[in-house]
């Protein structure tokens, strides 16, 4: 089980970070700087697991290998590798406060401290440094990084997952295909799962993974979907203020 061994007084926040926010076409440096600044303000009172998705990068690779007969397991593995690449970028963004490894197994135990070497000459010694961020990526074929986020929330008894996407709300149907699609500020798990279906497939572009949704409903976990391009809403949510987004519970 992944768990923080220290700083237990801090609230644990789980963030499922859409890969297309990190790399929409190329790596979005401005987003990453703003994301870092948003979270840093809460390091005194919160600690964060950030599970990074593959996004468009993963889908581009999956579509390419599909042309050459790749099956779902093949597409899953290449998608997982894309999540790891995106996660390496996010880890570097938080380099001074981050756990030194990318977590790919959401059941692995980690510590909130890493040792840094300070001093010079013969006076070198180790000093523990607090870790506020743990970055994770995809684990194994058959499920998404949303599912990994739910597993981590389960292990840490966290009851809320922030799902950072590139839209303001979850809609009752795909707004790209249906101009009359309606934004939803709130929706229960039963209705949400009926809307997104029961199965997940590699590269599927859904508001939240159907398999992860089933487990989240069973565990009583709330998912809050927020547009990562408007980080003031993430800030508002973390500060218990009104925000624009969709709550699924």
Domain of residue 112, CATH code? 3.40.1160.10
Mean pLDDT of the chain: 87
Name 116's Cβ contacts closer than 8 Å, sequence gap at least 6. 126, 127, 128, 129
> What's the rounded Cα separation, in Å, for the pair 74 and 36?
33
Within-domain flag for 94: yes
Residue 141 lies in a domain: yes
Distance CA 240, CA 125 (A): 41
pLDDT value at 86 more than 80? yes
Rounded distance between C-alpha atoms, residue 12 and residue 1, angstroms: 15
Q: Is the pLDDT at 244 greater than 90, yes or no?
A: yes
Domain membership flag for residue 79: yes
Q: Would residue 6 count as lying in a domain?
A: no
Whether the per-residue pLDDT at 28 is higher than 70: the answer is yes
List the domain range (segments joined by +) for residue 100.
Answer: 11-248
Mean pLDDT of 129-134: 81
Residue 211 sits at φ, ψ, to 5 deg, of -70, -40
Residue 42 lies in a domain: yes
Q: Is residue 2 part of a domain?
A: no
Cβ–Cβ under 8 Å, residues 78 and 62: yes
Comparing CA positions, the residue from 55, 43, 135, 51 lying closest to residue 93 is 135
Is the per-residue pLDDT at 16 higher than 90?
A: yes
Domain assignment of residue 3, yes or no: no
Residue 76 lies in a domain: yes
With cut-offs at 50, 70 and 90, classify the pLDDT of residue 112.
Answer: low
Length of the chain in residues, anyone? 249
Residue with tokens 């981050």: 98
User: Total structural domains in the chain?
Assistant: 1
> Which tokens hold the place of 150?
């739910």
Strand 46-52 with 11-17, pairing: parallel
pLDDT, tens only, 136-165: 999 988 888 899 999 999 988 888 999 999
The two counts, helices (H) then strands (E), for the chain are 8, 11
pLDDT digits (tens, 9 = 90+) for 158-174: 889 999 999 999 998 88
Tell whether pTM > 0.95: no
């Amino acid at each position: 089980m992944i768990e923080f061994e220290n700083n237990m007084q801090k609230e644990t926040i789980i963030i499922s970070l859409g890969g297309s926010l990190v790399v929409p076409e190329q790596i979005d440096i401005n987003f990453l700087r703003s994301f870092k600044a948003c979270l840093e303000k809460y390091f005194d009172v919160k600690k964060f697991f950030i599970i990074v998705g593959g996004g468009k990068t993963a889908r581009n690779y999956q579509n390419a290998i599909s042309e050459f007969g790749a099956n779902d397991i093949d597409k899953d593995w290449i998608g997982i590798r894309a999540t790891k690449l995106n996660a390496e970028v996010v880890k570097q963004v938080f380099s001074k406060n981050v756990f030194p490894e990318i977590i790919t197994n959401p059941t692995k135990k980690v510590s909130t401290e890493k040792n840094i070497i300070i001093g010079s000459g013969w006076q070198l010694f180790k000093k523990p440094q607090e870790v506020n961020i743990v970055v994770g990526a995809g684990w194994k074929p058959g499920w998404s990084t949303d599912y990994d986020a739910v597993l981590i929330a389960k292990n840490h008894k966290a009851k809320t997952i922030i799902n950072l996407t590139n839209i303001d709300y979850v809609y009752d149907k795909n707004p790209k295909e249906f101009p009359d699609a309606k934004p939803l500020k709130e929706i229960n798990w039963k209705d949400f799962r009926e809307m997104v279906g029961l199965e997940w497939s590699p590269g599927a572009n859904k508001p939240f993974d159907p398999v992860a949704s089933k487990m989240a409903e069973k565990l009583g976990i709330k998912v809050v979907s927020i547009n990562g391009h408007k980080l003031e809403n993430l800030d508002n949510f973390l500060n218990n203020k009104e925000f624009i987004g969709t709550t699924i519970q």
